Structure 1
Amino acid sequence: MSDQHQLPGDIRKLWPSEWPKFRDHLLRLDKASRRMRFAHGVSDSFIEDYAARMVDMSGIVYGYFEGPELRAAAELKKLGDTWGREAEAAFSVEQPLQEHGIGTELMGRVIRAARNRGVQHLCLSCLAENGKMRAIAAHFGAELRFEYGEIIGEIIPAGPNYFSILAEAVEDRFGYMMAVLDLHNRVLKAA
């Protein structure tokens, strides 16, 4: 297993206008990866609808980018109308990049974002045969239990502190700059 820092890409938050990148990433997932991400087989039209609602979900999506391409994503979704006690996490990594530590890096960002929003209970669910997700959840100390053919993981993030908030703020500034540069490059190519 190689370390994420040896990979050529960057991890940053996605901005609402980048939902097409999220859609394109999910559409590139192979059949098995789609099934592991959504706990059942899903069609292209399902993914189109799901990705288009990224803005409406009022969650946070972190992505692993190689150049302008989003190749992996981790989602933090609030359960309810506001950030509160509970949230849910999910992620997907395209097949060629699996087992390189990207999922673990993304999960770390999601846990920190949950922590900074006062989430006290972070839920993950996956199919029982999703050993990669179970391993990542266990890496972060998740309590795992079997329910109705799925594994439910629960992580209790630490409370926010100056360093966790500062780290997210610094990454957000960098991420925003990268998103603006990507938009600028797309506009230049279209002209």
Structure 2
Amino acid sequence: MTAGVTDRGEAPLAADMVIRRLSRGEQKLFVEHLKRLDAEARRSRFGRAIGDAGLVRYAGRQPEPGVVLVGAFVDGVLRGVGELHPAGENKAETAFSVEPAFQGRGIGRRLLQHLVTIAQNHGIHTLVMLCLAENGSMQRITRRLGGRLITQPGEVEGIIRTPFPTPFSLAREALSEGARYASAALDWWTDAATASQGSRLAGR
């Protein structure tokens, strides 16, 4: 499972960014995000060329127990996803995808930080990620978060040891979950208000 954030010189990240877990009901958003990846970003994420049909199959798989998807929403649109997949006792693999126009803006780092917090709070002691040898961005992010790198033919393995949970790490995750439910509530309120306005305009 490869981590797909590559080096691109882009403008600073928009201030309106929310990092939160994705629910199973947001599969369509995940598919749309993956389809917006270009050929380079897809190869960086999956380690090979992959078409739209393959992306749909990947996103539509029944998730295994313990799998966590975390999304980066910029101006309300899903632009990056971090994945955490259990891989044995107290260990998990991670992978990332960030849309080309939004790379180089710190989204990959924020996603990895969030996954580290989730792992920290849920008894996962080791995070592992694989990236292509030329993916210097993910290697720098791993080092910045205290991880170590193991070079292999054609790829690099990053390993991050997570600390024990703290009141602060628990609070960070709780705040993120609060953003998720607040977003869902706002969507419900907007839909309800739109429907109500439509009924009034129709004279009902």
Q: TM-score range by the shorter chain?
A: 0.7 to 0.9
CA deviations on 1:102-150 (whole Å, 9 max, x unpaired) are 1111110011111111111110100001111111111112110112311
| 1:46 matched to 2:54 | yes
Alignment TM-score, normalising by the size of structure 1: 0.88
Contact persistence 1:128–1:149 (CA under 8 A): yes
The equivalent residue for 1:70 is 78
1:151-190 to 2 correspondence within 5 Å?
151-182=156-187, 185=190
CA distance in 2, matches of 1:2, 1:118: 37
**Which structure is higher in RCO with an 8 Å CA cutoff and minimum separation 6?**
2
Structure number with bigger Rg: 2
Contact 1:68 1:182 in 2 (8 A): no
For these two proteins, the number of residue pairs brought into alignment is: 187
For 1:1-191, what aligned pairs fall within 5 Å after superposition? 4=13, 6-53=14-61, 55-56=63-64, 58-80=66-88, 84-182=89-187, 185=190
**Identity, % of aligned positions:** 35
Please give the secondary structure, in 2, of the residue aligned with 1:33: helix
Give the RMSD, CA atoms, in angstroms.
Answer: 2.2
Query: How far apart in 1 are the matches of 2:105 and 2:146?
Result: 20
TM-score (norm 2): 0.83
1:37/1:92 contact within 8 Å kept: yes
Matched position secondary structure for 2:16: coil
